[in-house]
Amino acid sequence: MLSRRLIRQFIALVDTGSFTAAASRLHVSQPTLSAGIAELERSLGTPLILRERRALRLTEAGNRLLVHARAIEREFGLAERGVLETPPPAPPLRLGVLASLATRTTAAIAAHFAGDAAGKALLTLTDAPDADLRRRLAEHRLDAIVTTLRSAEEGELLREEGYAMILPAAHRLAGRDVLLPEELAGETMIARRSCEILAETSRFFTARGVRPHFALRSANEDRCLALVAAGAGVTTGPISLAGPGTVAVPLQGYDYRRRIGLIVASGQDALIAASGLRDVLRGSV
């Protein structure tokens, strides 16, 4: 069977004109080279080299083989260079997103990285609460996170927004400019367990004597908002969560705000820049 090793040995022998020089070029011993040429001749069933006193001469079969051998070696070389010159694929971008981020924002991020276009980076998304995202980032299990910023110096600010009551669009209070807490005393509530200010919200209503009935307590944002849109209850949340079938109405005294930003792991700035993540976040968050 022909192999590249045997073809290279044959070409080196023809080019140098001697077993000694060919063995030196290939960094093998002369007996190894002689054995290789003999193996090649046995596999083809015909002599290729005539060993004369001061020179080597190709047989007719050797001349025919040389044409094919050079073409084969040339194709091998082209294949090797093609592989080596092809840049390695970029590593997947491991991005964590806050669980309470609007689904349409997460979808916009995913859509940016989808498709087969050349140069597209792969994306691995992790949906989790802030504390979990920060732990994974510190453990180098994520390259960047989109989460709530705790200080003005932390991360890259993408959006700042307030919280409000999120009501069904057909709710009797949906057209109000602002709501009073006591107006919600008889309302059925949907508790968003992924809310960053869940404890503060509970204290806010308790302090004002509002103890509503809860129809659902869930960390599934889409399910909570779907129930609100269906008229099954009301909830609190960042104004960006209001979507089809719902409206966000400010609540008097409920003055909480959140700052959403991008925090990048140490050493990952180049990966973030190459992925275009900042651009898609500025357009969707």
Scan for tokens 């969707």, then name that residue.
Answer: 284
Contacts of 14 (CB under 8 A, 6+ apart): 56, 58, 62, 66
Mean pLDDT over 264-276 rounds to: 85
Q: In terms of domains, do 276 and 246 share one?
A: yes
User: How many domains are there within the chain?
Assistant: 2
- The pair of three-digit structure tokens given for residue 17, joined into one six-digit string: 């004109």
Q: In terms of domains, do 116 and 80 share one?
A: no
Q: In terms of domains, do 126 and 259 share one?
A: yes
Q: In terms of domains, do 117 and 81 share one?
A: no
Q: In terms of domains, do 68 and 50 share one?
A: yes
122 band by pLDDT with thresholds 50, 70 and 90: confident
* CATH code: domain of residue 78: 1.10.10.10
* CATH code: domain of residue 228: 3.40.190.290
Q: In terms of domains, do 62 and 194 share one?
A: no
- The pair of three-digit structure tokens given for residue 167, joined into one six-digit string: 């009501």
Q: What is the dihedral of CA 204, 210, 215, 216, to 10 degrees?
A: 10
Q: In terms of domains, do 197 and 65 share one?
A: no
Query: What is residue 85's three-state secondary structure?
Result: helix
Which among 85, 116, 146 is the end of a domain? 85
Res. 119: pLDDT tops 80: no
Q: In angstroms, rounded to a whole number, what is the distance separating the alpha carbons of residues 13 and 25? A: 9
Q: In terms of domains, do 73 and 101 share one?
A: no
Q: In terms of domains, do 76 and 113 share one?
A: no
Return the pLDDT at 90: 66
Q: Are strands 144-148 and 257-264 parallel, antiparallel or unpaired?
A: antiparallel
Mean pLDDT over 190-211 rounds to: 94
Q: In terms of domains, do 154 and 217 share one?
A: yes
At 204-241, the pLDDT tens digits run 999 999 999 999 999 999 999 999 999 999 999 999 99
Q: In terms of domains, do 75 and 166 share one?
A: no
Q: For the chain, what is the mean pLDDT?
A: 90
Domain residue limits at 58? 4-85
At 54-77, the pLDDT tens digits run 788 899 998 998 888 888 888 888
Q: In terms of domains, do 152 and 68 share one?
A: no
For the ranges 41-45, 98-102, 107-111, 281-285, the lowest mean pLDDT is seen at: 281-285
Which among 22, 57, 85 is the end of a domain? 85
Percent of the chain residues topping a pLDDT of 90 = 61
Which among 56, 85, 114 is the end of a domain? 85
Return the pLDDT at 215: 95
